[in-house]
Amino acid sequence: HKTIEGNGYLYPQFYDRTCPKAQEIVKSIIAKAVSRDSRMAASLLRLHFHDCFVKGCDASILLDNAGSIISEKGSNPNRNSVRGIEVIDEIKSALEQACPQTVSCADVMALAARDSTVIAGGPSWVVLLGRRDARGASLSGSNQNIPAPNNTFQTIFTKFKLKGLNIVDLVALSGSHTIGFSRCTSFRQRLYNQTGNAKPDFTLDQSYAAQLRTRCPRSGGDQNLFSLDPVSPFKFDNSYFRNLLASKGLLNSDEVLVTKNQESLQLVTQYAQNNQLFFEQFAKSMVKMGNITPLTGSMGEIRKNCRKINS
């Protein structure tokens, strides 16, 4: 058996000989974590996205401030928002017990994203493995590369294209918003001052908007939580796309998928009608996102503790 080293490719059997229990360990801890806190599936899925869009899927998001490292945890998309890092820590310490310094933190997040999707009722896929962990973080990359909820369609699409993802990936992966929550502060602008002239976003269903205003006032309540998919907030299904067609997308970045681009509207319509089509594309796009510039071979390292680089 020959190992492939440093050629940039990931493959599913990477830990088959060195840590055969790795996938089981990850799965069982995710199951426990989600039974304690059902939102955790969403939070772990998002963590992988916020890692991969910054320097690739290299666990840069997990590093704490230390020495010359400025943590990505303080970026606009992550601050007061990113969750699930303690679960990654718990998985990592179990893996260090079973097979010391073998399984990367970046691979743990890729497996966690898949297992979380499955546990929430979504599709499964084979996770490609062999990513290694970065020895640095990028706060500026985290601020610049991760799309913001008030970005235009064009800006969001450009940020995906810069990561090698296309419009099909953008729409399918946005379907992640079928689970999980958003803070009031991430969409308040739509309720009161969408265009800067003190007018709400009139493309948002007006009774839904009125309902949102009750717990997301003009000022205060910034951290109040709202389900991204009020129909089935913990179930991974295609109701997110049906909400969009009913003008009930929570974030502006959700709504632009149906109001700003014909191709993306067409994809939303297809996924709203065909859950299986959505599931199949979501799985493909997750594999593609998981392949964003991984460190392989002798690049980077296998961290002992996901929060800090090995000394």
Of the two residues 42 and 103, which places its CB atom closer to ligand HEM in the complex?
Answer: 42
The answer to whether the CB of 190 falls within 8 A of the CB of 204 is yes
Q: Whose Cβ is closer to Ca ion: residue 133's or residue 255's?
A: 133
47 makes contact with Ca ion (CB under 5 A): no
Contact between 43 and ligand HEM per CB under 6 A: yes
Among ligand HEM, Ca ion, none, the one that 191 touches (CB under a kind-dependent 5 to 8 A) is none
Check residue 46 for interaction with ligand HEM (CB under 6 A): yes
- The listed partner (Ca ion, ligand HEM, none) that binds 54, CB under 5 to 8 Å by sort, is Ca ion
Q: Identify whether 48 is a catalytic site residue.
A: no
Please tell me which residue in 46, 48, 50, 114 is annotated as part of the active site.
50
Asked if 157 is part of the footprint of ligand HEM (rule: CB under 6 A), the reply reads no
53/226 with CB nearer Ca ion: 53
CB 172 to Ca ion: min, Å: 21
> Which entry of Ca ion, ligand HEM, none binds 147, CB below 5 to 8 A by partner kind?
ligand HEM
User: What does the binding site for ligand HEM look like in residue numbers (CB under 6 A)?
Assistant: 39, 42-43, 45-46, 49, 81, 83, 147-149, 156, 173-174, 176-177, 179-183, 186, 228, 251, 253
